Chains A and B, each alone.
Chain A
Amino acid sequence: MSQIETEVLIVGGGIAGTAIARELSRYKVDATLVEKGVDFGQGITKCSSTMMCQGSNTLEFRSEYHNSRLVWAGMPLMAPLCQELNIPLKRIGSLELIKNQAGMRRPEKMIRRFNEYRGKYIPPEVEPIQLIDRETLRSWEPNLNKQFIGALYDPNIAVNDPVRLTIALAENARQNGVNILLETEVLGISAGIDTFDVQTNNGSIRCRYIINAAGEYIGKLAQMANADDFALYPVKSYQAVLDKKIGGLINHMVFTTENGMVSPTIHGNLFFGISPGTQRLGKAHDHSTDQKLADAAMKHAQELVPDVSAKDIINSFVGFIVFRNFEIGWHECTVGVSRWVPRFINASIGFPGICAAPAVAKEMVEILTKNGLRLEENPEFNPYREAMPDFSELSDEEKKKLIAQDPRYGHVVCRCETVTEGEIVEAVKRGARTLDGVKFRCRPGMGRCQGGFCGPRVTKILARELGVPETEVTKKGGESRNLIYKSKELLEAQQ
């Protein structure tokens, strides 16, 4: 059991925790991030849609909302961030669909608000939102249900892969000196005069500041320090990914407030889900899907894009969105110092949180400074992270070159997503320890056969690279081994 001292302890390796860690690494500060799981971004972040720079629907809420302001502030930050970290971001634009004349009131209100907030909370780089008519809608999205009479178009909406972004942030933070500990769960916190003593399954940590970025578990963590001065409501939300072969059905993210949304992903699939807030159900931390939710989501999706069908689903899951008390505004996030415990800072980033994360990270620097932390710039800070090679995206010439350098790139392991052994080895080199870890970094098993073909092959490579027997390879850590016994082991046990 180790004993660590650090200035700032960040709890949680989701988008919030890693974005904060990376932002802090711009400064000379002794920071440590702990994550209880085996990998980054496997909490709420994993379940989120791939929407970045969400903006227009935030206009539904008044400018006092901290979350709305963070989302707007985060918008111009996202593209440069993705560029520095070398991960793709694609602007697709969104269309909030309008059913009838009465439905025009909402978009009109949004446009009014947009103009009012522009230059105040909405940075000048953000492009204006606008109404488009039926004909334009039809020509942009021929596969949309014909009933819609127009849409509110937000050109700012982009997609990327939130888990990749999280992993990239963690890699870059580590590269710039943040101490990162995986499989380290905070179990208890005792507050002293100017320090906290934090117990984990891996020893204790003494720190001056705690940043609580524990996602779904933010309440639990705050409770440990008696800093739970807020009430949170988990809202279960359902998402499903569709086969790439119908990836071209629509080009924009399309949605209505009651139907949820259908959208392309950065990887060329389609994605749909019931929008948060409409499903106020679910026991906290129960990550199971259920048929009712799945059926409802499908029905809604089909009302938007009739050709979407259940037989094209390749994967589905639920996620929890942690909201504030419905009475004070369900959409609000909780980012700030606890009213009860000094130097204990909560960072529950709410929804949309991925978009807000870059701004949350910047705000965290201000909060820490205001609360007595001296932050000096780190002259060695390197914002750039080398990209993971993506074989399937290369030109013929580039493919040839890469294979010549390392023949393992000539060995295609995942046929659905065309992932090579070279990429898997690189993913392990960069920290993947599990099948999911490999999958989220370079996508073997993300395709339509869901690992049926490549599962055994990835397991083999992972075992070899980690130097463990295949029976110790897990899907996502803990007891999640895929192969429990060697051949004959069960028979021998019976004798």
Chain B
Amino acid sequence: MKLQDVDVAVIGAGPAGMAAAIKAKEAGAENVVIMERAEELGGLLHQCVHNGFGLLYFNQDLTGPEYGHRFIEKVMDTGVKPLLETMVVRLTEDRQIGAVNIREGYITFKPKSIVLAMGCRERSRGALNIPGTRPAGVLTAGTAQRYVNVEGFVPGKKIVILGSGDIGMIMARRLTLEGAHVEAVVEILPYIGGLIRNEVQCLHDFEIPLFLEHTVTRIHGEERVRAVTIAKVDGRRNPIAGTERTIACDTLLLSVGLIPENELSVMAGIRLDPVTGGALVDEMRQTTVSGVFAGGNVLHVHDLVDNVSWESELAGESAAKFALEEKPQKQGEISIKAGTNIRYIVPQTISGQRDVTLYMRVTEPEEMVRIKVGDIMTKGIRAVKPSEMLKIELPAETLKKLKDGTKEIIVDCEKRGGK
């Protein structure tokens, strides 16, 4: 296949990229390439050696690499062409891709359509601006995960973890199993940031102390971390004087959130949603630049890989259709707006013509709620948490109830039976 003949180019070969590429091929696109900067397909799945993958998609409890391998095989079987060790460094508004790799050097080409699947990165210490010194031994949980699971190193012996995101909790367990001692997991919110199952299986089962409504207020140590000071926070998340305690440790892991990796999207002039940090998309996962689609964590941070795969399949299928010029696709007409206690919703616009699934997150945890989609649908849910993504199916039938000329639908999450 010549690069000049590419129908669909997928950027990133994590679970999102692989699902998109496979689906694009299945939907009839002839020449599909998947571009990945690493040496192999799979993205972050390789370092996620724990289980919990595929419960929804395959109805099976798989590890990250197992989940990945099913897709890698399919990429190979379907004839998607992987371009490995290839880093895309440029993307333009008219869909020109510029990339470098060791073999061909600097390559440029213009596929008929593109799927963005670059995933996300972790928030770093700088973003938190934690006061104190700047020693070695402060790293993000994902970087530590790579060291432990892929490179074969353990960063330290006495560990404090700031943030209770899933990777942080999983690393608490992993490092304990490696013989390190996790002194504390410190979370600024009154509830954990990751999934309940990880709190139970990774923290409680290993008796790792969890400090809710606490934060790290200082890092100590000149060359290597020597200790951290933590303190309780008030309702506005400010440390309360007098509650400080210092914990001796040699490592501080940060699990304080993920940020969609959208440098290329910005370069191409794609408009982003300030809340998700990902592109604004319609129900086909098309961005504001025609012919460029997006799926997975580059669009919004998911908690389950299964949803990443499904969402990206949609993006892949749409990209194939666009490449085959089956129907001219344009951004939907109706915008979906986050209302009461909703932090964000993807997609941000819909056409109102097809079935859609709304992916959303709440702002605050709440029990006994009702999700209201404009005045066309309501759905009761027992409990909602910011860490667990909600999926609301909106069949085309239901959408027919919309009044003609509807420009906007507001989605609210209200407490049932109360005010």
Bound pair: A and B? Answer: yes
Cβ of A455 and Cβ of B139 under 8 Å apart? yes
Report if B317 contacts A (CB, 8 A): no
Contact partner, B154, options A449, A451, A484, Cβ 8 Å: A484
Of residues 142 through 190 on chain B, the ones whose CB sits less than 8 Å from some CB of chain A are 142-143, 146-148, 150-157, 178-180
Contact partner, A487, options B129, B146, B148, B263, Cβ 8 Å: B148
B290 to chain A, nearest CB (A): 24
Cβ of A245 and Cβ of B266 under 8 Å apart? yes
Contact partner, B103, options A410, A478, A481, Cβ 8 Å: A410
Report if B132 contacts A (CB, 8 A): yes
Chain B residue with Cβ nearest A407: B102
Q: How far is the CA of A476 from the CA of B122 in the complex (A)?
A: 23
| Residues of B in contact with A (beta carbons under 8 Å apart) | 37, 85, 87, 89, 98, 100-106, 108, 121-122, 124-127, 129, 131-137, 139-140, 142-143, 146-148, 150-157, 178-180, 217-220, 222-224, 239, 250, 263, 266
**Interfacial chain A residues near B98, Cβ < 8 Å:** 396
Cβ of A407 and Cβ of B100 under 8 Å apart? no
Q: Ordered nearest first, which 5 A-B pairs have the shortest CB separation? A: A490-B179, A403-B105, A450-B124, A475-B136, A480-B136
**Interfacial chain A residues near B131, Cβ < 8 Å:** 288-291, 294
Contact partner, B129, options A240, A418, A449, A485, Cβ 8 Å: A240
Cβ of B151 and Cβ of A470 under 8 Å apart? yes
Main SS of the interface on chain A?
A: mixed
Cβ of B100 and Cβ of A403 under 8 Å apart? yes
Report if A474 contacts B (CB, 8 A): yes
Cβ of A452 and Cβ of B87 under 8 Å apart? no
Cβ of A410 and Cβ of B151 under 8 Å apart? no
**Interfacial chain B residues near A314, Cβ < 8 Å:** 124, 126-127
B141 to chain A, nearest CB (A): 10
Report if A142 contacts B (CB, 8 A): no
A175 to chain B, nearest CB (A): 31
**Interfacial chain A residues near B136, Cβ < 8 Å:** 474-476, 480-482
New A-B pairs, 15, CB < 8 Å, besides A288-B220, A450-B124, A490-B154: A288-B132, A289-B131, A314-B126, A315-B126, A410-B104, A410-B105, A412-B37, A420-B100, A449-B124, A451-B124, A476-B136, A480-B136, A483-B155, A484-B157, A490-B157
29 residue pairs from A and B, CB less than 8 Å apart: A288-B218, A289-B131, A290-B131, A294-B131, A315-B126, A399-B100, A399-B105, A403-B100, A403-B102, A403-B105, A407-B102, A409-B100, A410-B100, A418-B87, A418-B89, A448-B121, A450-B125, A452-B124, A453-B121, A456-B150, A460-B151, A479-B224, A480-B223, A482-B139, A483-B147, A484-B154, A485-B153, A485-B155, A487-B153
Contact partner, A480, options B104, B154, B224, Cβ 8 Å: B224
Q: How far is the CA of A470 from the CA of B105 in the complex (A)?
A: 29
Q: How far is the CA of A289 from the CA of B223 in the complex (A)?
A: 15
A495 to chain B, nearest CB (A): 9
Report if A4 contacts B (CB, 8 A): no
Contact partner, A479, options B106, B140, B223, Cβ 8 Å: B223
Q: How far is the CA of A251 from the CA of B150 in the complex (A)?
A: 43
Most buried by B among A410, A470, A479, A487: A410
Cβ of B129 and Cβ of A396 under 8 Å apart? no
A277 to chain B, nearest CB (A): 22
Cβ of B106 and Cβ of A399 under 8 Å apart? yes
B109 to chain A, nearest CB (A): 13
Report if A118 contacts B (CB, 8 A): no
Most buried by A among B106, B152, B154, B217: B106
Cβ of B85 and Cβ of A411 under 8 Å apart? yes
Chain A residue with Cβ nearest B146: A456
**Interfacial chain A residues near B157, Cβ < 8 Å:** 484-485, 490
Interface string of A285-297 (1 = CB under 8 A from B): 0011111001000
Report if A281 contacts B (CB, 8 A): no
Cβ of A412 and Cβ of B178 under 8 Å apart? no
Cβ of B37 and Cβ of A313 under 8 Å apart? no
Report if A400 contacts B (CB, 8 A): yes
Q: How far is the CA of A474 from the CA of B222 in the complex (A)?
A: 13
Q: How far is the CA of A411 from the CA of B106 in the complex (A)?
A: 11
Cβ of A400 and Cβ of B102 under 8 Å apart? no
**Interfacial chain B residues near A487, Cβ < 8 Å:** 148, 152-154, 178
Chain B residue with Cβ nearest A314: B126
Q: How far is the CA of A460 from the CA of B143 in the complex (A)?
A: 13
Cβ of B108 and Cβ of A456 under 8 Å apart? no
Cβ of A483 and Cβ of B121 under 8 Å apart? no
Chain B residue with Cβ nearest A290: B131
Cβ of B122 and Cβ of A449 under 8 Å apart? yes
**Interfacial chain B residues near A408, Cβ < 8 Å:** 102
Q: How far is the CA of A479 from the CA of B142 in the complex (A)?
A: 23
Cβ of B121 and Cβ of A456 under 8 Å apart? no
Chain A residue with Cβ nearest B220: A288
Q: How far is the CA of A332 from the CA of B406 in the complex (A)?
A: 70
Q: How far is the CA of A213 from the CA of B155 in the complex (A)?
A: 36
A57 to chain B, nearest CB (A): 27
**Interfacial chain A residues near B222, Cβ < 8 Å:** 287
Report if A370 contacts B (CB, 8 A): no
Cβ of A484 and Cβ of B223 under 8 Å apart? no
